[in-house]
Amino acid sequence: MESTATWIITIGVLATVIILDLLLAILRRNKPTTIFEAAFWTVFYIGTAIAFGALLPHWTSEQGQKEFFAGWLTEYALSVDNIFVFIILLTHLKVQKEKQQLVLLLGIMLTIGIRGLLIPLGAALISRFSSIFFLFGAFLIYTAYKLAAENEEDEWKEGRVVASLKARGLSIFTIALIALGLTNLVFSLDSIPAIFGLTKDPYIVTTANVFALMGLRQLYFLLEGLLARLIFLSKGLSFILAFIGIKMIMEAFHGIGIDEIAGVHIPEISLEVSLGVIVASLAITTVASLTATRKDGTAIV
């Protein structure tokens, strides 16, 4: 269990970085983000997360390190999917390029706040009711199914909401912020059960989530041109969520003392296997998407 000092130092450092990012977004709110700038900061934040994970055993454990990387990769992949929804929303709302920086960062900070409330709630439920894993697992499997079966018709529902907000006299900036907030809430309901399927340590859950969200503003501008090419991303994320959901249900059975069903032993999936499945799924999804499409997003026949 991490000490209070570890929590305070970690939160202090992460909060400082987020505040500096906010100040940078405010100072550059009237300037478009270049591809070079987006790439530099994306690499910086990914490198920071990797460095943090590499140093974790100095104040937690090697098990905590594995859990962090598995959790961070899962949350980061879900965040990329989140970004594609952001791109669709901001494009649909016709938010100016110069204003998108501030909207994105405020939206990401809102996400951190939402998850900051949901993580302690999830930890409390798990500590009191081990059978909650059945519910979390079933929810992830259902989410995986919906993600695999999703289609573009859902955008029309969001259009009605936007029209209603415009009718009330709200500005495009405010509408964009509300839309991102609602989207973040929905994605948080998926991501929190997903990471609890990999680790029950609140410190690892918190840091993996924050590192996955840091730098998303820059990643948005970097991935904007890849929106049409990563056509299989939702399928890959669907597989990962279904895998974690099944893993949680297996753990739930073990948690209530049931180790076999109808004479068949319920396997225990190690963290190493989970990490391997997550990395392999993301790699295959990315390669398959880029191979199947041209640079303009059209399919290769």
What pLDDT digit, counting tens, does each position of 183-202 carry? 777 777 778 888 888 888 88
Q: Please tell me the predicted confidence (pLDDT) of residue 125.
A: 80
Within a domain: residue 104? yes
Q: Is residue 240 part of a domain?
A: yes
Mean pLDDT of 269-285: 87
**26 lies in a domain?**
yes
| pLDDT for residue 271 is more than 70 | yes
Where is pLDDT greater, at 266 or 122?
Answer: 266
Over the Cα atoms of the chain, what is R_g? 20
CA dist., res. 59 & res. 54, Å (int)? 11
Domain assignment of residue 301, yes or no: no
Range of 27's domain?
4-292
Total structural domains within the chain? 1
Confirm whether 60 is domain-assigned.
Answer: yes
Whether 271 and 70 have beta carbons less than 8 Å apart is answered as: yes
pLDDT of 98 over the 50 cut: yes
pTM of the full structure: 0.74
Residue 265 lies in a domain: yes
Q: How far is CA 149 from the centre of its chain?
A: 19
Task: Assess whether pLDDT exceeds 60 at residue 262.
Answer: yes
Q: Assess if residue 77 is contained within a domain.
A: yes
Residue 260 carries which DSSP code? E
Q: Say what the pLDDT of residue 175 is.
A: 81
Residue 156 has pLDDT above 60, yes or no: no
Judge whether residue 209 has pLDDT over 80: yes
> H or E segment at 264?
strand 264-265
Residue 299 lies in a domain: no
**76-85, 109-118, 270-279: range with highest mean pLDDT:** 270-279
Pairing state of beta strands 264-265 and 260-261? Answer: antiparallel
Cα dist from 256 to 133, 201, 249, whole Å: 11, 20, 11
